[in-house]
């Protein structure tokens, strides 16, 4: 595979006197999803207020097909705010309405067009990746739906050439007929996309800890995590892992139910996250929280993000690092054109 063109990176963090300046950042960035209510720059402000090194946003109303165009001045203000804040990684998440695997031709066409628009909006904002769910099979055979999802993603990427923004296929919990609960399904999608000239460098994977746990992949103890990472590497390739959604799970291992919980308050538990934040093979991968933000009164409270980030940073300083897997190594899975 030809080397990926360099992406725009945020400028080095300038000296700051804010609360976050007292936090020594990890080798990888830690952050959280933040709302763009009030404007794109408000998401950056919320990230700074809660001590984030990185940020995830929706670039649109995720519950409607219609989108409001991004004004050029708003895009410039967002890029400037990210640079001034010193955020080290920014990612977008697509609309939940999008289903590139849909059997209905009209819904699938609309989904592919919307996914292409997500890429265009991310490019305008200087965001390198859009996290995307691979869709749902409905009544289709899974293998058929997996191929349709991959071909739909490939079409959206092809329609947006030569943009730099790419797609991160997110692992899912397997709830209902959702695709992407197994590493093999995502690996099969990558095989289809990689076969299209010029697309392999614009597609990667986002691993959601709640989702993989709910899908039946254990993250603790250390031996179980090694097995899970080895399986990921064999089916997908650890070099394709660009982002981790750090979420605990309200439900037990293998429940196939997508319910996020605060770090250490769910069924995954603090020890597992200690292994994850210290694991040498994951040291370069940004972690973004999608944990509940509601406080005791049921209203959004920035202290929830602060607490979850503090837990991850504490675990990074105290948890024992896991040993390197015997069989997993970045890029060990060979793909066409790589």
Three-state SS for 30-76 is EEEECCCCCCHHHHHHHHHHCCCCEEEEECCCCCCCCCCCCCHHHHH
Domain ranges in the chain are 29-318
Half-sphere exposure of 184 (CA within 13 A, CB side): 2
- pLDDT for the residue numbered 28: 73
6-20, 104-118, 247-261, 304-318: least confident range: 6-20
In this predicted model, what pLDDT tens digit does every residue of 108-150 receive, in sequence order? 999 999 999 999 999 999 999 999 999 999 999 999 999 999 9
Respond yes or no on whether the N-terminal peptide bond of residue 221 is cis (omega within 30° of 0): yes
- 29-318: CATH architecture: Alpha-Beta Barrel (3.20)
DSSP three-state, residue 129 = strand
Q: Does the pLDDT value for residue 318 go beyond 80?
A: no
Give the mean pLDDT of 8-15: 36
- pLDDT for the residue numbered 337: 38
Q: Does the pLDDT value for residue 245 go beyond 70?
A: yes
110-124, 232-246, 323-337: least confident range: 323-337
């Amino acid at each position: 595979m030809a080397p990926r063109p360099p992406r725009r990176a945020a400028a080095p963090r300038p000296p700051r006197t804010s609360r976050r300046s007292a936090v020594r950042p990890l080798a990888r960035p830690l952050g959280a999803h933040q709302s763009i209510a009030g404007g794109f720059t408000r998401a950056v402000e919320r990230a700074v207020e809660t001590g984030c090194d990185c940020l995830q946003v929706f670039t649109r109303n995720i519950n409607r097909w219609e989108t409001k165009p991004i004004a050029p001045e708003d895009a410039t203000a967002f890029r400037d705010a990210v640079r001034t804040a010193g955020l080290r990684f920014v990612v977008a998440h697509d609309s939940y309405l999008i289903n590139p695997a849909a059997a209905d031709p009209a819904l699938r066409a609309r989904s592919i067009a919307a996914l292409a628009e997500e890429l265009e909006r991310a490019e305008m904002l200087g965001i390198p990746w859009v996290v995307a769910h691979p869709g749902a099979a409905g009544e289709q055979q899974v293998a058929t739906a997996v191929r349709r999802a991959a071909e739909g993603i490939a079409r959206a990427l092809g329609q947006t050439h030569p943009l730099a923004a790419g797609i991160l296929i997110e692992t899912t919990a397997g709830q209902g007929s959702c695709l992407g609960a197994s590493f093999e399904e995502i690996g099969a999608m990558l095989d289809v996309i990689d076969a299209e000239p010029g697309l392999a460098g614009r597609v990667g994977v986002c691993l959601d800890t709640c989702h993989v746990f709910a899908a039946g992949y254990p993250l603790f103890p250390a031996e179980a995590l090694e097995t899970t990472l080895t399986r990921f590497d064999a089916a997908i390739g650890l070099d394709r892992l660009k982002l981790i959604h750090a979420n605990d799970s309200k439900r037990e291992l293998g429940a196939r139910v997508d319910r996020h919980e605060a770090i250490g308050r769910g069924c995954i538990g603090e020890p597992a996250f200690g292994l994850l934040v210290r694991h040498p093979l994951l040291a370069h991968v940004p972690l973004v929280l999608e944990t509940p933000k509601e406080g005791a009164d049921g209203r959004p409270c920035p202290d929830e993000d602060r607490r979850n980030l503090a837990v991850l940073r504490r675990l990074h300083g105290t948890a024992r690092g896991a040993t390197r897997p015997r069989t997993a190594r970045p890029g060990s899975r060979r793909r066409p054109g790589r």
